[in-house]
Structure 1
Amino acid sequence: MHRPRAAEAAFAEELAVVRPDLVSRYTAELPGARAAVLSRLWRGLTYEPLPWVAAREAGREGLTLRLTDGRGLHGPHPDPFATDDRVTVVRLDGVAHDDPARLMTGLGVPHGAEFAAELADSVVSLALSRAVQPPRSKEWPVRDWEWEQRVVDGHPYHPNCRSRPGFSVAEQLAYGPEHRPLVRLGLVPVPAGECLVTGAWPSEMRDGERLLLPVHPWQADHVLKRPVTEGLDAHPLMSLRTLALVEGPHVKTALSARITSSVRDISVYSIGMSATLSKFAETLAERMDGLLHFTRTLGAVTANSPDLAAVLRESPQVYGDRVLPVAALAGTELPRSPAWLAEFARLALTVGLRLLELGVALEAHGQNLLVVLSESGAPIRLVYRDLADIRVSPARLARHGIPVPALSGRVVTDDVTTLRRKLLGSLVAGALAGTAGSATALRGALETAVRDLPPTPDLAALLEQPLPAKALTLMRLSPGTPGDQWTELPNPLA
C-alpha cells in the first residue's frame, strides 16, 4: 500500500483549523471512503468500453483486465448493481492498491492524472460526510429537505460520488446538504430589461425595475466575485445547488463548479424552455391516473449568462406529506423487503414506460424521481422534478394525439435508442438498481413487476436487450467528448 496520501493529509490539516473535533472521526472514516470510491471505480473499469482495456477474463478467483500495454489488473467478480463498499483492494501487475487515486495514477492512461485528483477529492469529501453523521433517528423526517439531507454517500455508482473540487473544507461544511447547514443565499439586482424571464417572477424578488436573482454564496465568492449582503435562508438539497427556502419554494441556483460529472450552471436554453416544459408536464400528469405529478416551475430568470440565473420550483411536498427522493430510500428499512421493492418497481416502470410510449423519456434517477409513501410506507405515487434533461419525441406524441409543444434543441428527438437510454439508464440502471443494491435483489423486483405491465416495444427492449447505463468513468477520462457516453450492463432479467 502507498503511504502517505497527500490529499488526505492536506484535508486533515485544513479540517484541524475549522473543526478540530472532527479530525479523528474523519481519519477513522478514510478506509471506508477509499473502499466506497474504489468499488465504484472498479465497476466502471470492468463494464465500460475503455480504449486501453484489451480483454476481460473471468476466473474462479475474480476478474482480470488485460491492458493494451500488456499489464494485468485483477479484482473481485463485479456486481454491476451493488451499492456496498465491497472492493477493498485491486492488484495492478501484482501490486496491491486500496486507494482509487493511486490506482488511477498507476494506470497511466490519458487524462488519468486529472481523474485521479477528482478521485482523491471524492475520498476525502466522503470521509468528512460520513464523519459528521449523528446516530440515525428511527423517526421519519417531516420536511422534504430533511429526507434529502440523509443522503450521505452521493451517487451510488459514480467514482466521483462526493467530489467537490474548488470547495474548501469550510465551504463543504457550510454548504453540503449532508452537513445540514442553513445557507444564506444572496440576492443580486439585475435590470429587468437585461434578463430573460419565463413564468412569473415573484414580487418579493423584485426591486422596482430590477429583478433580484438568488445566488449561491459559493458562486458569489468564486465566480461572480462580488459581495452579497441581502439574502434568503435556505436548506440545501441533494444537488447542492438547489435549496428549499425557509419561507417559500425550492430554488435552483447557478453553481459553476464540477460536482460528480457536470458543471452546475443554468443554461440560457433551459431558462427559455422552462415554462413551456412545465405547462406540457401538467398535461402529461393528467394522463397518468394520479400516479405521477410534476413539480411546477414557478419562474425562471437568467441575466443572459449561465453563471447568473435561477429557477423557482414548487416543493414536492405539495403532493404528499411523506415524499422523498428515491436516493433516500436506501437509508430506510423499506427496500429490504422483496415485496416492497417489487411494488415500487411496478409503480416506477408503469409510469416510466407509459410516458415513454406516449413520447416522453424521463431522466428518472434517484435525485429527480421522488416517491410518495402512505402512512404504512407503501409507495402510492411518484413525483418528478427538473424537466431540463427529459427527451420529447414529436412522432410518438403525434401518434397518440398529443399536441406537440413548442420545443427545440436537445430536448427534442425521435431516436429510439436515445429515448430508451434516457429512461432505462436512469430508472432501471439508476434509481431501481440503487434502491435494490444488488443484481439479485434487482432481478427479483423486476421479475415480479414486469408481469403486470402492458406489452410494448420498449418493454420488450427492457426484457431482451442489455441494460444501458452512462459510462461515468469513461466520460471523466474523455474531457474532449461532449455529452453522455454509454455502456451496456448485463440484463438482470436475462
Structure 2
Amino acid sequence: MDRVHLNPPPAADVAERADAHSVAPLLNCLLREVAEPHPAPGSERRVYRLRGSGRLLRVLGGRRPAEPEVRADGAWQRIGHAELVKLVADELRHHTGLSNHELPAEMIDSRAALAALLTARARATPPADPYLRSEQCLLTGHPHHPAPKARGGGPVAAWLPYAPEAHARFPLTLLGLREDAVVEEGDTSALDAFGEAPPGYRLLPAHPWQLDLVGRELADAFADGRLVRLGTTGFDAWPTAAIRTLYVPEHTPGGDLFLKFSLDVRITNDIRRLWRHDLLKLRRTDAAASRAFATGPAAWLSDRGYRTADFAFEELAVLVRDGFHGHLLPGATPILAAGLVEGFEGGTLGDTDWWEAYLRAVVPPALAAFADHGVVLEAHLQNTLVAVDSEGIPVQALFRDAEGVKLLPEVSREAGWERLVYTLVVNHLCELAAALAERHPGLDPWPAVRRELARHDLPEIPALLSAPTLPGKTNLLLRWTGADGAAARYLPLPNPLAG
C-alpha cells in the first residue's frame, strides 16, 4: 500500500476511535433485535429495556449510537466495547436459550481489526480517484452487524496488505493452469491479457491472500504440474468495500474491470467463497439482470464469466465483472452509495433537490427490474453505485452482483418483494435518509421518498406506503443461532413511509 510519512496516531486515540466505531453497529443490532424503548422523560439519551434480562440500557445519539450505559445498583454505569460484548452475549443467552462462543470472539476480532486499520490508515495515502476513495472509506462498515470488520481471527500481517480500509493496492498472483484442468463459463477472455501462459496452460490470476489461505491444499497440483507460478501482474488491483472484489483500472483495450475471488474467511455473515452452486446459476441470473438494464440510463455491471480449476473449483475461482467502460454517462463519476453514508472525503450529501435527483436515479430502475423482468436486485448500499455530474448531482445508478440476484418465480413474488424492500428501502434509503437528516437539520427526507415510490404502478406500492412496519434483517440473531447467512430473517421495524 502507498505510504506517507506521518506520525502514528496515539494509542489512546486509536483505542477510543476503535471502540466508538465498534460500539455503534453492535448497539444498532442489540437495540433493533432484542430491546424495546423505555420511557425516559426529560433525558437527552434514549433508554431501552432488554427483553431477555429486563435490564435497562441507555445510549447517546441516533443512527450511530454511542456511550452505552447500564442501570445497576441505582445508577447508570458507562461500559466500553469489551463490556458491551459480554452484555450482548449474556442477553442473547437469556433471549434464545442458546450459547455461542464464536460470535463474541468475532466481535472482539472486529474491534481489534479496526484498531489495526486506523493505525495503518493514518500512514497511508488515499487514492486520488473519488470512486476508489468511496470504496475504501468504510471504517464503520455494515451499520447493523455485530462484527462488521472481523477478518477471520487471523494475524493482522496476513490480511492488512489487502484491506481496502487501509488504502491497499497490490498486484495479483499469476498462475498457469494446465488446459485439461480448466473450467470456465461465459466470457473470461480479459484474463488472457494479464500475462503470457506457457504452452499447454491458461492464465489464472489469484488473490494472494486466498492463495496463502489454501496453499497447502494445492501442494499436489503444484508438484505434478497442474499449476505453475508465473509471478505477478504488471499492474495493481484495488480492493473494494467487498474486500474480495478488486477493481482493475484500464490496462487493456477492453477497458477497466472488476475481479471477484473466493476468500476463505468469514466476513459479516458468510465464508466468502465463490460457491459452486452460485457459479453454476450465475450465467442465468446475470443474463436476466442484463436484459432488465438493456435500456435507460441505469446500468448493470455484468458478471461476464468465471474461470477456475476442476480440482479446486471454489478455492481458485475468479469471476470477471464489467468495469465502468461503456456504462457511465459522459462526464459522470461513480460513487459507492455506502461511501456517501460513511461520509468519505469528497462525497456530497446535498439538499432536497440533490435527494430528489438521487431517488430518481436509484428507485425507478430497481422497481422496473422487479415489475417488468422479475429480477430482484440486492440493491443495498454496497451493491449500488451512483454516478454524479460535475456539480455532484446524481444522474445515474449502476447495480452489481449477480450472486445476490433472485429471480421470479424461483422465489415467490411476496418473498422477492420483501427482499427488495429490505435491501432498497431499509438497508439503503433508510440509512441514507438518516445521514441526510443528520447533515441537514430540519430536512425531512421522507416526503420525497413517498412521492417517488407513488409514481410507480406496482400493486405492492400502496401497502408499502401505508404499512406500519418494514422488514429489518436480524444479523445479530442470525449469527448467534448459527443460521446460514443467506437465510434472511426479518423483524418488523417502524415504517417512516407511513408518515
**TM bracket (short chain):** 0.7 to 0.9
Hey, what does 2:224 align to over in structure 1? none
Hey, what does 2:166 align to over in structure 1? 179
Counterpart CA distance in 2 for 1:142 and 1:35 is 28
AA partner of residue 448 (structure 1): A
Hey, what does 2:417 align to over in structure 1? 420
AA partner of residue 212 (structure 1): L
Counterpart CA distance in 1 for 2:265 and 2:405 is 22
Tell me whether 1:372 sits opposite 2:387 in the alignment: yes
Counterpart CA distance in 2 for 1:355 and 1:473 is 30
Hey, what does 1:147 align to over in structure 2? 134
- The correspondence of residues 277-426 of structure 1 with structure 2, limited to 5 A, is 277-287=285-295, 289-290=296-297, 292-304=298-310, 305-316=313-324, 318-320=326-328, 321-329=332-340, 330-331=343-344, 332-358=346-372, 359-394=374-409, 412-416=410-414, 418-426=415-423
Hey, what does 1:6 align to over in structure 2? none
AA partner of residue 316 (structure 1): F
Contact kept, 8 Å, 2:376 with 2:416, in 1: the verdict is yes
Contact kept, 8 Å, 2:159 with 2:209, in 1: the verdict is no
- Alignment match of 1:430 (pick from 427, 431, 435): 427
Unpaired runs of 5+ in structure 1?
A: 1-18, 395-411
Tell me whether 1:123 sits opposite 2:97 in the alignment: no
Tell me whether 1:57 sits opposite 2:38 in the alignment: yes
Counterpart CA distance in 1 for 2:358 and 2:320 is 29
Hey, what does 2:465 align to over in structure 1? 463
- Structure 2 vs 1, CA of residues 207 and 333 (structure 1 numbering), >3 Å: closer, same or farther? same
Unpaired runs of 5+ in structure 2?
A: 220-228
SS at structure 2 position matched to 1:181: coil
Counterpart CA distance in 1 for 2:123 and 2:8 is 18
- CA deviation vs aligned residue, 1:350-405 (integer Å, no higher than 9, x gap): 222222222211101111110111111111111111111111114xxxxxxxxxxx
Counterpart CA distance in 1 for 2:139 and 2:85 is 21
Contact kept, 8 Å, 1:467 with 1:489, in 2: the verdict is yes
- Structure 2 vs 1, CA of residues 64 and 457 (structure 1 numbering), >3 Å: closer, same or farther? same
- Structure 2 vs 1, CA of residues 36 and 147 (structure 1 numbering), >3 Å: closer, same or farther? closer
Superposition deviation, residue 175 in structure 1: 0.7
Counterpart CA distance in 1 for 2:9 and 2:124 is 20
Counterpart CA distance in 2 for 1:136 and 1:231 is 23
Superposition deviation, residue 309 in structure 1: 0.5
Identity across the alignment (%): 23
Hey, what does 1:28 align to over in structure 2? 13
- Structure 2 vs 1, CA of residues 21 and 260 (structure 1 numbering), >3 Å: closer, same or farther? farther
Tell me whether 1:204 sits opposite 2:193 in the alignment: yes
Counterpart CA distance in 1 for 2:109 and 2:122 is 23
AA partner of residue 204 (structure 1): A
- Alignment match of 1:474 (pick from 477, 490, 495): 477
Counterpart CA distance in 2 for 1:97 and 1:65 is 16
Contact kept, 8 Å, 1:196 with 1:272, in 2: the verdict is no
Superposition deviation, residue 22 in structure 1: 7.2
Superposition deviation, residue 349 in structure 1: 1.8
- Structure 2 vs 1, CA of residues 457 and 436 (structure 1 numbering), >3 Å: closer, same or farther? same
Superposition deviation, residue 323 in structure 1: 0.7
AA partner of residue 138 (structure 2): V
Hey, what does 2:225 align to over in structure 1? none
AA partner of residue 489 (structure 1): L
| Residue-pair matches, total | 446
Contact kept, 8 Å, 1:326 with 1:369, in 2: the verdict is yes
The TM-score, its normalising length taken from structure 1, stands at 0.81
Contact kept, 8 Å, 1:214 with 1:253, in 2: the verdict is no
- Structure 2 vs 1, CA of residues 26 and 162 (structure 1 numbering), >3 Å: closer, same or farther? farther
Contact kept, 8 Å, 1:97 with 1:103, in 2: the verdict is no
The TM-score, its normalising length taken from structure 2, stands at 0.80
- Structure 2 vs 1, CA of residues 222 and 78 (structure 1 numbering), >3 Å: closer, same or farther? same
Aligned-residue Cα RMSD (Å) equals 3.2
Hey, what does 2:222 align to over in structure 1? none
Tell me whether 1:237 sits opposite 2:240 in the alignment: yes
- CA deviation vs aligned residue, 1:43-72 (integer Å, no higher than 9, x gap): 212222x5xx6x65343343332444x441
Contact kept, 8 Å, 2:285 with 2:405, in 1: the verdict is no
- Alignment match of 2:28 (pick from 43, 61, 65): 43
SS at structure 2 position matched to 1:413: coil
AA partner of residue 306 (structure 1): E
Q: 353-362 or 241-250, which moves further after superposition? A: 241-250
Hey, what does 1:74 align to over in structure 2? 57
- Structure 2 vs 1, CA of residues 78 and 426 (structure 1 numbering), >3 Å: closer, same or farther? farther
- Structure 2 vs 1, CA of residues 437 and 108 (structure 1 numbering), >3 Å: closer, same or farther? closer
Counterpart CA distance in 2 for 1:73 and 1:120 is 23
Counterpart CA distance in 1 for 2:128 and 2:246 is 17
Contact kept, 8 Å, 1:346 with 1:449, in 2: the verdict is no
SS at structure 2 position matched to 1:431: helix
Contact kept, 8 Å, 1:26 with 1:127, in 2: the verdict is no
Contact kept, 8 Å, 1:141 with 1:147, in 2: the verdict is no
Counterpart CA distance in 2 for 1:237 and 1:357 is 30
Tell me whether 1:252 sits opposite 2:252 in the alignment: no
